[in-house]
Structure 1
Amino acid sequence: MRPQSRVLSRPLAAALCLLAGAALSHPVTVESCGRSLTFDAVPERAVVHDINMAEIMFALALQPRIVGVTGITGWYKTTPEFDAARGDIPELADKNPSLENILSADPDFLFAGWYYGMQPGGEVTPDTLAPFDIAVYELSESCIHLDKTRPDVSMETLYGDVRAIAAIFGVPDRAEALIAGWEARIAAARREAAEPLRVFLYDSGDDQPFTAGRYAMPTALIEAAGGRNVMDDVAMSWGRVGWEAVGERDPEFIIVLDYGEDGGAGLIAFLQAHPVMSTVTAVREGRFLALKYSEITPGPANIGAVEKLAAALAAHGG
């Protein structure tokens, strides 16, 4: 019989959460995009979407509980380390999964997010999976798409997801060990400066740049490294802005996305030839850092990204 999840009233959910935490055993209650989810037992057959969420599961050594991944090979080039961690776990869909893809693995749990494998009103959502007794934990960064009153993104956004997943699967000590190590690394790497460098993230886009706003994980990574996202006043997660708005903010450093084709060289060349961007400080002085998708979406690779960015800011910021 598969473990059940249920949605409880907030007072009862909070009480159960305290009891579960004290006993360090199930039932356990976690919050997911404002929903209180209680698990009577550890999920036995999990599906996880996207490379960053897969890496969270792998970092917690939960591969024995995973029966499928989705959204990996259709978009990304994986590393030997990722492939070794994945082992023989099958990929159910190379991009966004259909309901049929999910059901084919007979899962009891899905770890995904809004616009990370799920879309509001789409075929795969917590509501569409509930009739099949499939509990869904939503990536916290993505909850802004459902609730505009969510708190600003921070490193706690990542840590909260890691703690929640660890609690669901009965391994809270693994989460605390991971997070303690990550916090120590970030503290050691952080660039201290009276005036943080202005940083812009360029993902893609010619007519308008696709970038990270106030609620997207890169804002937290940039702040953790000692910089400031020039788009941290834009009330969005990931989205498009105008080139003129970027130019007015005159970024002093630019992160470009490396999707595994040319190490971000094409994006840098585009910025160097752009009539607006060629005039900003970062482009004029050649201040760029290429990061991979898994490094700028919530996951364990964020910590290495902060270390790289802090070192780059220190080198260019004096």
Structure 2
Amino acid sequence: MKKTILALALTILSTPALAFPVTVESCGKPLTFDAAPKRAVIQDLNMSEMAFALDLQSSMVGVTGITGWYKVDDAFKKELGQIPELASKEPTVENLVAANPDFFFAGWYYGMKPGGDVTPDTLAPYGIKTLVLTESCVHLDKNRPAASMDLLYGDMTKLGKIFGKEQQAEALVAGWKTQLADIKKRISNSGETRVLLYDSGEDKPFTAGKFAMPTALISEAGGTNIMSDMETSWGTTSWETVAARNPQFLILLDYQDGAGYQKLLDFLKAHPAMKETDAVKNERFVALRYAELTPGPANIEAIGKIAKAMHPEAF
């Protein structure tokens, strides 16, 4: 009995305590939690997948902004379980307050708009603390570094701290870094490839700029985003600019999970300037889902897909 008690005491002493209160940075502002949230609402596919990666479902009372925009697969539905979707697109304050949450994870133009109805400031009077997706902070602060994998790693670590799962978050990030180090080793002698991400748009292409996550993914996969000098996250440019930079490889955003990219490719093949680019002539592309191209756990698999498609000889 004494040995059992001693073993139990040693276990308790060696188990790290949940260190609350914790303070994290959210778009340059401190956000303090005296305890882990118990009634969280998560916006969008990518942020929901971040929450699932930390097994936060038992602390969630809703998600927002998913089925109004995207198709979801069976794996996502299984992870979501019985958690309700409170709004299929952008939530309203009323949507959120009705669920009596104590936490909201969203971003600028990921469920919130600067000066809009739903912001950290408008939710605060209802006792709702908002963590803002770091990638989106550029909409308030242009003096930010270009996109890197730290956008994902940092937000996962913040979620871990907020929910008392810091060690789990750190283990996830360490595993991701190991996977990417292996990819980088494989492609080290492949040389860089000029890449265009094509999201949508016919008059003007809607694409990823300096501060958008795809710029980081392309770099990790051994490429260069030809629009990385565009001082925005997501935005439009001209077809003349894109064609003059002659992309060698395309990333096509597939909103329909398997069927949406073909329309984009067909348009490029018919476009008088784009059909002459190396990427279109050689049909060198990969189609990726929204959740793979916005900050979230799916970024790691996406980097692998891009790298294998661009540098098949390395795999």
> After TM superposition, is the score higher than 0.5?
yes
Structure 1, gaps ≥5 residues long: 1-21
Aligned residue among 212, 216, 220 for 1:220: 216
Q: Which residue of 1 aligns with 2:274?
A: 277
What SS class does the counterpart of residue 256 from structure 1 fall into?
A: strand
Counterpart code for 1:254: L
Find the aligned partners of 1:287 and 1:24 in 2 and give their Cα distance: 49
Counterpart code for 2:51: M
Q: Which residue of 1 aligns with 2:150?
A: 156
Find the aligned partners of 2:73 and 2:299 in 1 and give their Cα distance: 16
For residues 201-227 of structure 1, give each alpha carbon's deviation from its aligned partner in whole angstroms, at most 9, with x where no partner exists. Answer: 000000000000000000000001111
Deviation at 1:24, TM superposition (A): 4.8
Find the aligned partners of 2:34 and 2:228 in 1 and give their Cα distance: 40
Q: Which residue of 2 aligns with 1:287?
A: 284
Q: Is the 8 Å Cα contact of residues 287 and 316 (structure 1) preserved in structure 2?
A: no
**Structure number with larger C-alpha Rg:** 2
Q: Is the 8 Å Cα contact of residues 87 and 95 (structure 2) preserved in structure 1?
A: yes
What SS class does the counterpart of residue 51 from structure 2 fall into?
A: helix
Q: Which residue of 2 aligns with 1:231?
A: 227
Counterpart code for 1:74: G
Q: Pairwise CA RMSD of aligned residues?
A: 1.5
Tell me whether 180-189 or 137-146 shows the greater mean CA deviation: 180-189
Q: Is the 8 Å Cα contact of residues 141 and 215 (structure 1) preserved in structure 2?
A: yes
Q: Is the 8 Å Cα contact of residues 107 and 132 (structure 2) preserved in structure 1?
A: yes
For residues 245-285 of structure 1, give each alpha carbon's deviation from its aligned partner in whole angstroms, at most 9, with x where no partner exists. Answer: 10111100000011116141110000000011101110011
Tell me whether 182-191 or 152-161 shows the greater mean CA deviation: 182-191
What SS class does the counterpart of residue 157 from structure 1 fall into?
A: helix
Q: Is the 8 Å Cα contact of residues 197 and 317 (structure 1) preserved in structure 2?
A: no
Q: Which residue of 2 aligns with 1:315?
A: 312
What SS class does the counterpart of residue 131 from structure 2 fall into?
A: strand
Identity %, equivalent residues: 56
Find the aligned partners of 1:165 and 1:33 in 2 and give their Cα distance: 14
Task: Establish whether residue 28 from structure 1 lines up as the match of residue 22 from structure 2.
Answer: yes
Find the aligned partners of 1:187 and 1:224 in 2 and give their Cα distance: 9
Find the aligned partners of 1:210 and 1:111 in 2 and give their Cα distance: 25
Aligned residue among 239, 242, 264 for 2:238: 242
Q: Which residue of 2 aligns with 1:173?
A: 167
Deviation at 1:234, TM superposition (A): 1.1
Find the aligned partners of 1:301 and 1:291 in 2 and give their Cα distance: 10
Runs of 4+ aligned structure 1 residues displaced above 4 Å come to: none
Find the aligned partners of 2:89 and 2:283 in 1 and give their Cα distance: 34
Find the aligned partners of 1:316 and 1:285 in 2 and give their Cα distance: 16
Counterpart code for 1:99: V
Deviation at 1:315, TM superposition (A): 2.4
Shift in CA distance, 26/264, structure 1 to aligned 2, threshold 3 Å: same
Q: Which residue of 1 aligns with 2:132?
A: 138
Question: 1:95-106 counterparts in 2 under 5 A?
Answer: 95-106=89-100
Shift in CA distance, 256/301, structure 1 to aligned 2, threshold 3 Å: same
Find the aligned partners of 2:220 and 2:190 in 1 and give their Cα distance: 14
Q: Is the 8 Å Cα contact of residues 190 and 314 (structure 2) preserved in structure 1?
A: no
Task: Establish whether residue 75 from structure 1 lines up as the match of residue 69 from structure 2.
Answer: yes
Find the aligned partners of 1:279 and 1:227 in 2 and give their Cα distance: 20
Deviation at 1:313, TM superposition (A): 1.0
What SS class does the counterpart of residue 188 from structure 1 fall into?
A: helix
Deviation at 1:193, TM superposition (A): 3.7
Deviation at 1:195, TM superposition (A): 3.3
Q: Is the 8 Å Cα contact of residues 50 and 156 (structure 2) preserved in structure 1?
A: yes
Structure 2, gaps ≥5 residues long: 1-15
Q: Is the 8 Å Cα contact of residues 190 and 311 (structure 2) preserved in structure 1?
A: no
- After TM superposition, the score normalised by the length of structure 2 is 0.92
Q: Is the 8 Å Cα contact of residues 36 and 163 (structure 2) preserved in structure 1?
A: yes
Q: Which residue of 2 aligns with 1:19?
A: none
